[in-house]
Structure 1
Amino acid sequence: MVQVYTEHLCRRHYSPFISDAVLFRIFLLFTNIALSLILPVATGAFWKRVKFVHEQPLVRYTEDALLLFEGAMPGQERIWSSSQAVNEQFSDFFIPASIQAYEEDVNFDGKPDAIRFNAKVQGTSPVFGVKALLQFHYEISDDVILKFFGLAYAAHTSALPGGELYLDGELELRQLTPITDKKFNGEFDTPILDSSQSEVAEAVRGSEVLQFESIVKSYLSRNYSTTFIDRYPVWKPGAGNSFMLDWNLRIPTHQMITVRPQVIEMLKFAWIQFLATFIAIWFFFHWLQIFVFRYRIFDTRAVSDVQPKTQRF
């Protein structure tokens, strides 16, 4: 013989609606619900308040830049800007520069993996320090919708006059607070360096008499911005008649973004935590009920499925 099906026989316990046995069952139910809420909240895993998204941003160089070459003494600074208004206002300190910039797309996915910037100046006094600002348009449009104009700032000084400065690092996203998921974030989608403007105040926003300190301070006070992580600067000494800035900016292929999930996603995650805890506690309460009713701790009328029912006339 082969067993093909199994039926479980039950012993049913009956009790009046208002009795200790009914109150015990109600107490277990509400205790189970309460513990299923309290335990996930107490362990800090009930609400998914933030999540981390890894995406590759689309970064484009806007051809806006501001370069400052510092000499040995104050007053020997030389400046170059992509803005004609800035160059005209600081004509006494202006120096011509040969600029080259291009993008590198290694995996041919349409998103630059690196941006190379090269600036060369001739006939300048010995350069002992460099400050540079480049502007980019930063865009993410997958799980997070984010568009803004960002800056890359680099500064380096040396006790020896230089002939070349090589910078190589990553352009990373900087956040103060999480970004709302699936919501368009275009609050800062306005150029900071705008070469098309004829006024210096409009060509370089957030600046006080064109000070790098005020530009950086205003820029970093935003909720999200970009930061250039300069890991390995290389300063090459030179004679002082020419100087070259060779700047390689790498775009992270998996930029980590802190996101505030939507309410429906938070409820979905909370429901999973509640249900998992509820089942685990209910399994324990199930064995508690078996013990209580099997040993007749409460008065109940037990009816077995094995015993035949008596006929009443």
Structure 2
Amino acid sequence: MAVFEVYSHPVVVRYRASICTKTTIFMFIVFGLTLVVPFLVAYTSEGFWVKQSVYLEQPYVSYKHQLLMVLEGTTATEYLVWSTYHNYNMLEQQRLRIPIVKSREEDTNRDGKPDKLLINIETPMLDTEQVYSLHLLVIFEYQLFRFSSLTMESMAYIHYNSPRPGAMFTVDGELQFKQNYPLPHRGIVDTYNYPVINGDSIYAADYQLTNIFRDYMDRNESTTFVSAYPVWVSGKGAGKPFIIQATIRYPEETILYYPGFWQLIKLAWIQYLAVLLIFIFIFGRLKTFVFQNHILQAAIERPFKLRSE
């Protein structure tokens, strides 16, 4: 007649030793190595503590209807200017030329956040005046909300140089977020929530592009205008204005930030546990080998034999 196994259970063999013995010291060492070695392995293999991370966010960008424009001719003294800053216009009133400015922001995906800005600037010109290069500063309010709450005033710098006099300049590009260091994972960041251009100043140096750019580059967070498709059209007709058509898009940005405590623990614990299970198995086999082969002395306590019914 065939015999089948109908039930089984493990038998526990206990090994006992006093505290001041080699056996107890061995067990303390093995226990410590079981906990410490996985930590060292996970930590030295890189990525245990996530020092910085990234996330995607569509910023809220608002055009502040503030501009500064410089149109340059063939020499350094031949240039025309205009801005929305009264003091600067007064300082440059001999070269001031008031354009017709039209602008609108569009929310193409209907999410409540503007997606791009369209600007059209028509500057009246004399027939004897020619434009060989342009500089245009467009001012924005830039906000992020997902982790840290960032609010700042930023700008787009649009410029172009040509060996031929222009009649129209067209550009289409993106206002890209730039940061030198990660943002905190929470809190209010308003360090640069002040004017890029000090419109209250009565000094010409505060409106010079070199000074504006120097102060702007000192920022940790800023924006920059990036375009790969500028078009310079020459052949301006008599009595025609010089036209600037710019499309500035607000793309979804990849934001660098410092992770919070719980995010660090969540990622670190998974890595530690994965390595810990391996070492629990390895040291478990080591302890079994040591005690079954009586390498260290210990009192053996065997289970009572089951009495047959």
Q: Deviations over 1:261-306 (max 9, x none)?
A: 2334334433333333322222221122222222222222333336
CA RMSD after TM alignment: 2.3
Superposition pairs of residues 9-158 of structure 1, within 5 angstroms: 9-124=11-126, 125-158=129-162
Which deviates more from structure 2 when the two are superposed, residues 69-78 or residues 27-36? Answer: 27-36
Aligned residue among 178, 190, 194 for 1:190: 194
Q: Which amino acid aligns with 2:26?
A: F
Superposition pairs of residues 251-262 of structure 1, within 5 angstroms: 251-253=250-252, 255-262=253-260
What SS does the corresponding residue of 2:132 show, helix, strand or coil?
A: strand
Q: Which amino acid aligns with 1:8?
A: P
Which deviates more from structure 2 when the two are superposed, residues 289-298 or residues 126-135? Answer: 289-298
**How far, CA to CA, are the matches of 1:258 and 1:25 in structure 2?**
45
**How far, CA to CA, are the matches of 2:8 and 2:30 in structure 1?**
30
**How far, CA to CA, are the matches of 1:105 and 1:184 in structure 2?**
26
Number of corresponding residues: 301
- The aligned counterpart of 1:166 is 170
Q: Which amino acid aligns with 1:151?
A: M
In structure 2, relative to structure 1, the CA distance for the partners of 1:3 and 1:96 (3 Å cut) is farther
Q: Which amino acid aligns with 1:130?
A: L
In structure 2, relative to structure 1, the CA distance for the partners of 1:229 and 1:3 (3 Å cut) is farther
- The aligned counterpart of 2:182 is 178
Identity of aligned residues (%): 26
In structure 2, relative to structure 1, the CA distance for the partners of 1:81 and 1:2 (3 Å cut) is farther
Q: Deviations over 1:194-240 (max 9, x none)?
A: 66x4x445xxxxx7252111101111111111111122111111226
**How far, CA to CA, are the matches of 1:111 and 1:5 in structure 2?**
68
Does the 8 Å contact 1:53/1:143 carry over to 2? no
- The aligned counterpart of 1:228 is 225
TM-score (norm 1): 0.88
**How far, CA to CA, are the matches of 2:193 and 2:145 in structure 1?**
14
Q: Deviations over 1:230-251 (max 9, x none)?
A: 2211111122642111111111
Give 4+ residue runs of structure 1 displaced > 6 Å after superposition: 1-5
How far apart are residue 134 of structure 1 and its match? 0.5
In structure 2, relative to structure 1, the CA distance for the partners of 1:107 and 1:306 (3 Å cut) is farther
Aligned residue among 267, 270, 280 for 2:268: 270
